[in-house]
A and B are shown apart, each in its own frame.
Chain A
Amino acid sequence: QVQLVQSGAEVKKPGASVKVSCKASGYTFTSFYMHWVRQAPGQGLEWMGIINPSGGSTSYAQKFQGRVTMTRDTSTSTVYMELSSLRSEDTAVYYCARSEIAAARNWFDPWGQGTLVTVSS
């Protein structure tokens, strides 16, 4: 079955960077997009960006431009999301989620289990 398994919780100091991984299984890794979505405590969902695992091309939400980098490793079917210059407002659960490549089929399914990133001095 299709599964996305994310790395474990992280605690970081302000100004540091964090790199979260998302390992895919159960499907052809390069045939689907991967997205990153975050959710601050008690808040809603916020789309951060997308990566095409086939060629590695990315597109980021304007809010995160310059601070986020999404990469992939096709040999391990893993995508990564690195967020730099962390501040307390970046404390959130970070999710990866898959979508099909066709524009008409860009809904998110499934989602990873989430990774809690806590930014605290």
Chain B
Amino acid sequence: EIVLTQSPGTLSLSPGERATLSCRASQSISSSYLAWYQQKPGQAPRLLIFGASSRATGIPDRFTGSGSGTDFTLTISRLEPEDFAVYYCQQYASSYTFGPGTKVDIK
């Protein structure tokens, strides 16, 4: 099973700041089969990024995914108030597993 580790666990930032979230896999993820999701309290997860770097429909360009192999990054260039949420990475190369999440909260 591919285990995903996300860091940091919590990121405390102010609106307008840049957020950098990391997702590391226990083995190489073929063809960058990695997605990122955003989840707000009481809501279902929402797809942000697929294929490691492609934005889903309607996702603002302040969200950028990058990386390959075992190391992936989600960058939010300038945090908007609605971006404070929990972010999960997921691999779909070998079955399906999620990382434990990174909470981005307001400093």
Which residue numbers of A lie inside 8 Å of B, CB to CB? 35, 37, 44-47, 50, 61, 95, 97, 99, 103-114
Nearest A residue to B97 via CB reads A47
CB atoms of B88 and A45 under 8 A apart: yes
Contact of A35 among B31, B37, B88, B96 (CB under 8 A): B96
CB atoms of B33 and A45 under 8 A apart: no
Give Cα A46–Cα B88 distance, bound, in whole angstroms: 11
Contact of A112 among B44, B96, B97, B99 (CB under 8 A): B44
CB atoms of B95 and A61 under 8 A apart: yes
Give the shortest distance, in Å, between A105 (CB) and chain B (any CB).
8
Q: Contact size class for B?
A: 20 to 34
CB atoms of A47 and B101 under 8 A apart: no
CB atoms of B31 and A104 under 8 A apart: yes
Give Cα A113–Cα B46 distance, bound, in whole angstroms: 11
CB atoms of B33 and A44 under 8 A apart: no
Does B73 have its Cβ within 8 Å of any Cβ on chain A? no
Interface residues of B in 54-100 (CB under 8 A from A): 56, 88, 90, 92, 95-100
CB atoms of B50 and A107 under 8 A apart: yes
Give the shortest distance, in Å, between A114 (CB) and chain B (any CB).
5
Chain B residue contacts of A105, Cβ below 8 A: 50
Having A108-B35, A110-B44, one finds 6 other A-B pairs with CB under 8 Å, namely: A45-B90, A45-B101, A50-B96, A106-B92, A107-B92, A110-B47
Chain A residue contacts of B31, Cβ below 8 A: 104
Nearest B residue to A45 via CB reads B98
Give Cα A15–Cα B44 distance, bound, in whole angstroms: 27
Give the shortest distance, in Å, between A40 (CB) and chain B (any CB).
12
Give 1 or 0 for each of B6-50: 1 = CB within 8 Å of chain A CB. 000000000000000000000000010101010000001111001
A-B contact pairs, 9 of them (CB 8 A): A45-B101, A46-B98, A105-B50, A106-B33, A107-B47, A107-B50, A107-B51, A109-B47, A112-B44
CB atoms of B47 and A47 under 8 A apart: no
